Structure formats: C-alpha cells, structure tokens
Amino acid sequence: MTNRTLNLDSTLYQYLLDVSLRETPLLKRLREETAQLSTARWQIAPEQGQFMALLVQLTGARRIVEVGTFTGYSAICMAQAMPEGGRLICCDIPGEYNATAEHYWRAAGLSGCIEQRLAPALQTLVELEAEGLAGSIDLLFIDADKANYLAYLEHALRLVRQGGLILFDNTLWSGRVLEQNPESDDTRAIQALNLALRDDPRIDLSLLPLGDGLSLCRKR
Ligand SMILES: C[S@@+](CC[C@H](N)C(=O)[O-])C[C@H]1O[C@@H](n2cnc3c(N)ncnc32)[C@H](O)[C@@H]1O
C-alpha cells in the first residue's frame, strides 16, 4: 500500500497495459504505423487514449475540440466515444501526417463527425469563437504548441461551457518541469502553465501522472 502515486517501472507498466488496455485493431495499426515516424513520440500513450475515451463517455461530451492531432490517434479515441451526433474539430498545421489521420478516420467510419482545420491553432480558436461557439464546447484537449499553453488556457476558458473540461497534455514534460533555469521556451511555458492552473479560481484541477502528465481542468 502507498499514500503517494506509484513510480511505475517498465514491468509494472507492462502489467498495467496487459490487464487494462482495450485498444482496437485499427488503433493498434495506427500506432504501429506512427511508430515508424521520427516523430513517433508525439503520439499519446494508448492507456491515455483509453482514459480520454472514458472521460468522453462519462461526461457525454458531444462538442469536442482538439489542438494537435498528428496522425489522429487521440482524435479516434475521443470520437469513437462521442454520442450520436457528436462533432470533433481537430486543429493542426499542414504536414504529411494530416493525410494519415484522414485515412484512419475514414477506416474507422468517423469522417462524418471529425473536421480537420489546418492553420495555427490560436488562429483557429479565434475563428471558432467568431463562429459563435464560445461557451459551447464540452471538452477541449490541448496537445501542441507548448510555448503558447497559457494563451490556450484563456481561449479554452472562453470556448468551453461551464462544467466542461480542458485537458493539457505533457504537463510533467518527461521531468523537465523540474529544471531550475530552463533554456527551452516550451519547458518555461509548461512550468508557468502548471503554476497558473494551480492558482486559477476559474477551474477545478487534477494533474494526472498518466502518459507525460495530463492536467484535467473543469471550468467552474
Ligand atoms: C504532440 S502532436 C499531437 C499528438 C496527437 N494528439 C496524438 O495523439 O497523436 C502535436 C501536433 O501539433 C501540431 N502543431 C504544432 N504547432 C501547432 C500550432 N501552432 N497549431 C496547430 N497545430 C500545431 C503538430 O503538427 C503536431 O501534429
């Protein structure tokens, strides 16, 4: 027994996967194809995808926005869990992986409920507000452009409805959040975000040690 979060070694991590992961054959194929890319580490962990799907089911989220889609793994996890009529807007920038995402969404029968918008996400989020979506989004997942994480928090708080969820990925940043004087803008931005989330009265918060750290915020 322990009264602190476990430090998982690789054997215990493998056990966790063995007894809980329910990845579909299609998601497994996508993960194996993505593993061939030099940027494979961008993809979320499969157990994180499964957790996010469960969150979508628990909350009945039907209007979801994702910032950072890559080859489409997290998008499939969330879209498959949405109720009938749900809509997922995926924000990314142009890259070869956009087509991979579209290919797997088609294969999963999800093309009709996922829309990919290819432009800097801060710009896309402004457009979503201009389209009248402020205060209507059930869940917004942010997994891109770390240096601007604090700006995404403000956009998210405008777009997400009261009681809706904002998820920030990589908030433990492979431990680099512990650096004293980080040179990386990304590291400094994640450190600043974590302190801002801790002190922000507009949200309820839990930082989960899942994947690379997932901050789960509920808009009050
Ligand atoms: C960590 S990956 C996302 C991984 C994805 N959630 C998954 O599970 O596979 C980050 C993605 O953000 C995209 N990106 C980087 N900067 C961006 C920006 N300013 N606006 C939108 N997307 C951006 C990259 O092209 C990349 O595909």
Q: Is 117 in the pocket of ligand 1 (CB under 6 A)?
A: no
* pLDDT, mean of residues 186-190: 98
Distance CA 113, CA 109 (A): 9
> What value does the CA radius of gyration of the chain take, rounded to a whole number of Å?
17
Flag whether pLDDT at 162 surpasses 90.
yes
pTM of the model: 0.98
CATH fold label, 23-219:
Rossmann fold (3.40.50)
Q: Is 73 in the pocket of ligand 1 (CB under 6 A)?
A: yes
Q: Is 164 in the pocket of ligand 1 (CB under 6 A)?
A: no
Distance CA 130, CA 117 (A): 15
* pLDDT, mean of residues 143-167: 98
Mutate to test the pocket of ligand 1, among 37, 44, 89, 92 (most ligand atoms within 8 A of CB): 92
Flag whether pLDDT at 155 surpasses 90.
yes
Task: Give the number of the atom of ligand 1 that is nearest the alpha carbon of residue 74.
Answer: 8
Q: What is the pLDDT of residue 2?
A: 86
Boundaries of every domain in the chain? 23-219
Contact 70, 41 (CB under 8 A): no
172, two tokens: 């433990």
Task: Give the number of the atom of ligand 1 that is nearest the alpha carbon of residue 148.
Answer: 19
Q: For residue 111, what pLDDT band results from cuts at 50, 70 and 90?
A: very high
Q: Is 74 in the pocket of ligand 1 (CB under 6 A)?
A: yes
Q: How far is the CA of 113 from the centre of ligand 1 (A)?
A: 20
Q: What is the pLDDT of residue 98?
A: 98
Q: How far is the CA of 120 from the centre of ligand 1 (A)?
A: 10
Q: How far is the CA of 106 from the centre of ligand 1 (A)?
A: 20
Burial label, 35 (beta-carbon count in 10 A; 0-12, 13-18, 19+): exposed
Task: Give the number of the atom of ligand 1 that is nearest the alpha carbon of residue 121.
Answer: 20
Nearest CA to ligand 1 atom 4: 43
Nearest CA to ligand 1 atom 27: 70
Query: Quick one: which of 125, 115, 130 has its CA closest to 82?
Result: 115
DSSP-derived secondary structure for 168-186: EE-SSGGGGGG-SS---HH
Give the tens place of pLDDT for each residue, 45-76. 999 999 999 999 999 999 999 999 999 999 99
Flag whether pLDDT at 1 surpasses 90.
no
Flag whether pLDDT at 24 surpasses 90.
yes
Q: What is the pLDDT of residue 123?
A: 98
Reported as half-sphere exposure (CB side, CA atoms, 13 A), residue 166 has a value of 26
Q: How far is the CA of 1 from the centre of ligand 1 (A)?
A: 38
Q: Is 161 in the pocket of ligand 1 (CB under 6 A)?
A: no
* pLDDT, mean of residues 186-191: 98
